Amino acid sequence: MGLMEVYCDESRLELLGGTKSSGKYLAIGSIWIPSERRSELKGVLNSWKSLHAIPRSREIKWTQIGAKKLDAYLDLARYLFRYDFCQFRVIIIDSKIIDIDRFHDGNKELAFYKMYYQLLVHRIQKNQDYRIFLDSKTNRLGPKRVADLRKYLRLRTGSNLELQTVDSADQVLIQYADILTGAVCASANNLPMSDSKRRFIDEIKTILGRPIHQRTTATVEKFNVFRFPMGS
């Protein structure tokens, strides 16, 4: 089997650890693609930037979606479903239930990486090689935490996987993960948002035929939603 690449980002991470904020759900999302199709998808996303007068060096994010370029972002929402080789998986975490002191040694960064483990471990196959990329901007504890995550994923799955951090400003596929993850997290929290963001969510909802934060079974591949704890 060929090499798979996984590009990850997070939304509402401040909720992990009890920070006072609106909403209760945070999310970690990921784009999964075969390595040989990476250039194709990156080319599509960079061409989208050029078409809509967005400099290639400018980072695109969920928070930037607004009325000015709404049609462009609606088109971006459809890209995931145009390419059979591209999959999205997200874990939605109920921050009100996560007991940082009891189960994570009072360390919210440890809890964060345990949630990353949950996102990845159930999707990794033993006979498949993986290259996994995390956004370095949220990697607060440096190489040790990343090395531990890599070690435990390898032990649990038997996969020969690599895991590293990169700056999302330099990686458009992590930026795409940011947008999709932000949409799922906003939908789960159901807080007031702009009409533009609501329309982006509704565009994906229409394609899926279900709310975009609705839990799916493990066998769903295109747009897989895992909720933690189960039943939340």
What's residue 5's pLDDT?
A: 98
CA distance 28 to 115: 8
**Cis peptide bond N-terminal to 55, omega within 30:** no
Of residues 128, 130, 147, the one with CA closest to residue 139: 147
Please give the pLDDT value at position 36.
97
The yes-or-no verdict on residue 98 having pLDDT over 80 is no
Q: What is the CATH number of the domain that holds 61?
A: 3.30.420.10
For residue 122, the 8-state DSSP code is T
- Report yes or no: 65 and 181 within 8 Å, Cβ to Cβ: no
**Mean pLDDT across the stretch 199-223?**
97
For residue 104, the surrounding DSSP H or E stretch is: none
For residue 105, pLDDT over 70 is answered with no
Higher pLDDT, 15 or 78: 78
Half-sphere exposure of 2 (CA within 13 A, CB side): 10
* Tokens, residue 220: 């769903």
Q: What is the rounded distance in angstroms from the CA atom of residue 212 to the CA atom of residue 180?
A: 10
Which pLDDT score is estimated for 140? 56
State the total domains in the chain.
1
205: amino acid identity, one letter: K
pTM above 0.75, yes or no: yes
More confident residue, 95 or 217: 217
Among the residues of the chain, which ranges form H helices?
Answer: 38-51, 70-82, 100-103, 108-121, 143-157, 172-189, 195-208
| Enclosing domain of residue 99 | 4-228
